[in-house]
């Protein structure tokens, strides 16, 4: 999502009837204002970074993920304390008061804007990652097929898209060293089990890969990370280690998919917030 800001405060200047808020309500309003400013900051950094094709170049494998780590940390620092002043303007517009120093010290990081991905508190937070523009362009050709697969097998469409991006960067002719093929990188034995006749056909590949992902999600009671581990390393390895296998490739794969998924969720959240303010 490209962000062009001409007057970032234009939605905040309209007058409205103010009411008295309790201390608890003010704290929640302050937190929501800081969350919005943090998200806006992150979006601005991503937008500016796109003009230079990122720190690692647009087509570098994994560069989008490491770009996002840098953007995530920078946005976090910029949104602390006074930030850009947008949170204060939102809070003042609603309550008629300035944000107090105590409330301004709330450290709201972009990670709190995507509640659907819940990680163990002992694990490092995974920032969102924006795929390259070329990958997004390729993926857009399969939107209808992804929607169809999502509806048929009950798998979140953004999760399907994230798996496709992580597996093949949305290249339908992708072939791995392990002979995994197509958009969702399906090996021949798995294709046979899933009833895929032509693994290179985008529709059969997406339908088969989504069907397999749905089976894994049911097998692991909706645990996305275990399902992704099974998709990458195989269910036998998940059973062998009674959890995510200790393979660097598998761990990186899970983080990559979740980072793409989080990016899609943040974009959806941003659209809802902007629509709310415009309304």
Query: Could you state, in order of their start, the residue ranges of all structural domains in the chain?
Result: 23-113, 133-270
pLDDT at 37 over 80: no
pLDDT in tens, 233-279: 999 999 999 999 999 999 999 999 999 999 988 876 666 665 555 55
> Which residues have a catalytic role annotated?
167
The helix/strand/coil state of 234 is: coil
118 Cβ contact partners less than 8 Å away, ≥ 6 residues apart = none
Give me the residues paired with residue 181 across strands.
175, 186
**Which of 118, 147, 68, 113 is CA-nearest to residue 225?**
118
User: Coil, strand or helix: which one is 237?
Assistant: helix
Tens of pLDDT, residues 100-130: 656 555 443 333 333 344 444 445 566 778 8
Quick: pLDDT tens for 163-222.
999 999 999 999 999 999 999 999 999 999 999 999 999 999 999 999 999 999 999 999
Mutual angle of helices 23-50 and 86-95, in 10-degree steps? 150
How many helices (H) and strands (E) the chain has is answered by 12, 0
- CA–CA gap between residue 279 and residue 273 (Å, rounded): 10
Rounded Cα distance between 194 and 207, Å, is 9
Helix 248-278 vs helix 224-233: crossing angle, to nearest 10 = 140
The fold adopted by the segment(s) 133-270 is Lysozyme (1.10.530)
Give the pTM: 0.57
- Model pLDDT, residue 228: 97
């Amino acid at each position: 999502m490209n962000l062009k800001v001409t007057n970032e405060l234009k939605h905040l200047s309209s007058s409205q009837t103010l009411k008295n808020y309790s201390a608890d309500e003010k704290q929640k309003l302050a937190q929501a204002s800081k969350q919005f400013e943090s998200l806006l900051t992150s979006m601005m950094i991503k937008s500016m970074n796109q003009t230079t094709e990122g720190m690692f170049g647009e087509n570098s494998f994994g560069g989008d993920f490491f770009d996002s780590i840098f953007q995530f940390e920078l946005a976090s620092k910029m949104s602390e304390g006074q930030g850009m002043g947008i949170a204060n303007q939102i809070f003042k517009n609603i309550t008629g008061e300035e944000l107090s120093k105590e409330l301004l010290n709330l450290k709201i990081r972009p990670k709190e804007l995507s509640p659907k991905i819940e990680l163990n508190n002992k694990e490092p937070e995974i920032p969102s990652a924006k795929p390259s523009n070329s990958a997004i362009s390729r993926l857009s050709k399969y939107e209808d097929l992804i929607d169809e697969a999502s509806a048929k097998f009950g798998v979140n469409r953004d999760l399907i898209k994230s798996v496709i991006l992580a597996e093949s960067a949305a290249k339908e002719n992708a072939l791995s060293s392990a002979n995994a093929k197509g958009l969702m990188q399906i090996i021949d034995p798995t294709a046979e089990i899933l009833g895929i006749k032509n693994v290179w056909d985008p529709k059969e590949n997406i339908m088969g890969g989504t069907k397999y992902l749905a089976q894994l999600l049911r097998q692991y009671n909706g645990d996305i990370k275990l399902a992704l581990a099974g998709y990458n390393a195989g269910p036998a390895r998940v059973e062998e280690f009674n959890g995510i296998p200790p393979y660097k490739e598998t761990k990186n794969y899970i983080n990559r998919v979740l980072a793409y998924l989080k990016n899609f969720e943040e974009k959806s959240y941003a659209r809802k917030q902007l629509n709310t303010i415009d309304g």
